[in-house]
Amino acid sequence: MKASAKPAAAAPAPEPPHIDAARAEADATDLAPVVGGNLRRLRTRRGLSLERLAQLSGVSRAMLGQIELGQSAPTINVLWKIARALEVTFSALISSRTQSGALVLRAAESKLLTSKDRTFTSRALFPFDEPRRVEFYELRLAPGGVEEADPHPPGTVENLVVTGGTVEIEAAGETHKLETGDSILFEADAPHAYRNPGRGEAVMYLVMTYAEAIG
């Protein structure tokens, strides 16, 4: 008699993402008044009503009003929609003026922004002191996570390197699979997406360069 085959071992469970939900929520709350003040200043400088900005950005008038009052902490996607509509850099919305000079950014004090489903986080690795032409971010994407990004201002370029896991970048109608150590440079003024097809968290570092510093 043949011995019965042993059942296949169960696949290991996906590694949990290293996303501190409590910290991300606290960071968003801390940024709320900064974003609100910047939004109000940039909107009025361009002579836009809340209704008009809502039409341009696709963000509701009620949500914009809450953000301006510091009563709502917007997600990454909402901030990008607003920045695009105002034709300003991302940092123009989250920056607060500080003194000039060397500045050390401690990991424990850095600010995290999250996607609505909390599978994607972005940590700014530059000071929120003024709008700038070049921005540097640490990005983390949970297993199976997808982050779809709206177009950035014309001429914006993203240079990204994967330092952990596997990432698929969709840009200009093509999908590029990147393993740890791979990098990519692409024009980000069109819709693009980041996907994590792996079973572990993906970690990326992103340098975003705008055609000009505005805001």
Percent of the chain with pLDDT over 70: 79
Least confidently predicted of 65-69, 87-91, 122-126:
87-91
Residue 122 counted as domain residue: yes
* pTM of the entire predicted model: 0.61
Closest CA to 62 of 78, 47, 46: 78
Three-state DSSP class for residue 33: helix
13 part of a folded domain? no
The pLDDT value recorded for residue 20 is 53
- The DSSP code sequence of 152-174 is -STT-EEEEEEEES-EEEEETTE
In a domain, 9, yes or no: no
CA distance 194 to 40: 31
The stretch 193-204 carries a mean pLDDT of 97
User: Domain range for residue 115?
Assistant: 21-96+107-209
Convert the pLDDT of each residue in 62-81 to its tens digit: 999 999 998 888 888 899 89
At 82, the pLDDT band (50, 70, 90 cuts) reads very high
Residue 172 lies in a domain: yes
* Percentage, residues of the chain above pLDDT 90: 47
pLDDT computed for residue 12 by the predictor: 45
- Specify the pLDDT at position 128: 65
**How long, in residues, is the chain?**
215
d(CA 203, CA 121): 10
Residue 12 lies in a domain: no
For the segment 87-94, the average pLDDT, to the nearest whole number, is 82
**pLDDT for residue 104:** 79
Evaluate whether residue 101 is within a structural domain. Answer: no
| Structural domain total, the chain | 1
* Residue at 102 is within a domain: no
Q: What is the CATH number of the domain that holds 176?
A: 2.60.120.10
